Every structure is written in C-alpha cells, then in structure tokens.
C-alpha cells in the first residue's frame, strides 16, 4: 500500500479520466472501479488509504459500498461524491457521513477541493495507474 494511493469508484468515464489526470499530476497512484462492487474488490486487494466513491452507480451503489467497505476495511478513508444526491428533502451525501464517510464532495469537483481532502497525505510519489 502506498500512502498516496487513491481508488476512484465512478461509473462516468469522464469523471474517472478527469480525477485520474488531476491526481496523477499531484503525484498520486490511481486505481479505478466502475461500480461499488468493483470498489470493494479493489479496496480489499489494493488497500488504498483513500477512496473517492460516487453515490449513484450500477450493480452496487455508493451507499451500499460504503457500508461494506467500512465493515471490511474500517481504517480506509472514504469520501462520497455526487452531482445529484438529493431527492425531495433527502440528501444522500448527508446520509453518507452518518454511515461513516469522512466527507462529501459535490460535483462538479474542483482541484482545490481534492487538494484539501488529500492534504494530509505523505510526500510526492511517482504516479501510475492500476485498474481492477
């Protein structure tokens, strides 16, 4: 496990590509997952210290994945992301923090927001990508 390793779980290829590029430019190793189920499998295999997890994904949504990740890997820092997240008076990003997410990120994402979230990480490493 590298301290500057981030797993991105999002079913939107544009979001994955944008985050991957930004994080690699900042020196992070980036792994990608297409849905919550892949995120759980990748997290168990790769043990990244940080996961960026979208709320709405096929097969296994972000909230289900968050609960399972926190059960299996309680030390992992999970940050939930969503461009929507609210239905009526129910905000899934707010619910995510109640279920153990360290924080939430509203899309569209900013590089500044990512930098703040990941600021406690260790010194710069060479970047490379892992795909589960």
Q: Is residue 117 part of a domain?
A: no
The rounded distance, in Å, linking the Cα atoms of 87 and 76 is 28
CATH number at residue 22: 3.40.50.2300
What is the percent of the chain with per-residue pLDDT over 70, rounded to a whole number?
Answer: 82
Model confidence at 122: pLDDT above 50:
no
Question: What angle, rounded to 10 degrees, do the helices at 62-72 and 36-46 form?
Answer: 20
User: What does DSSP say about strands 86-87 and 90-91: parallel, antiparallel, or unpaired?
Assistant: antiparallel
Question: What domain range includes position 86?
Answer: 5-105
Residue 118 lies in a domain: no
State the pLDDT at residue 95: 83
pLDDT digits (tens, 9 = 90+) for 52-66: 999 989 888 899 999
Bridge partners of residue 82, in order along the sequence: 106
Q: Is beta strand 129-131 parallel, antiparallel or unpaired with respect to 50-54? A: unpaired
Q: Write down the pTM of the prediction.
A: 0.82
Helices and strands counted in the chain (H then E)? 5, 8
pLDDT in the model for residue 106: 80
Each residue's pLDDT tens digit, 100-120 = 999 888 877 777 777 777 775
């Amino acid at each position: 496990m590298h301290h500057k390793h981030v797993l991105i779980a999002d079913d939107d290829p544009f979001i994955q590509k944008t985050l991957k590029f930004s994080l690699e430019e900042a020196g992070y190793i980036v792994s990608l997952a297409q849905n919550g189920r892949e995120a759980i499998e990748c997290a168990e295999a790769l043990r990244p210290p940080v996961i960026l997890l979208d709320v709405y994904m096929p097969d296994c949504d972000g909230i289900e994945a968050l609960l399972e990740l926190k059960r299996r890997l309680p030390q992992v820092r999970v940050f939930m992301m969503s461009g929507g997240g609210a239905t009526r008076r129910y905000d899934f990003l707010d619910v995510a923090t109640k279920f153990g997410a360290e924080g939430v990120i509203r899309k569209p994402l900013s590089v500044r927001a990512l930098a703040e979230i990941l600021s406690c990480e260790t010194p710069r490493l060479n970047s490379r990508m892992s795909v589960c």
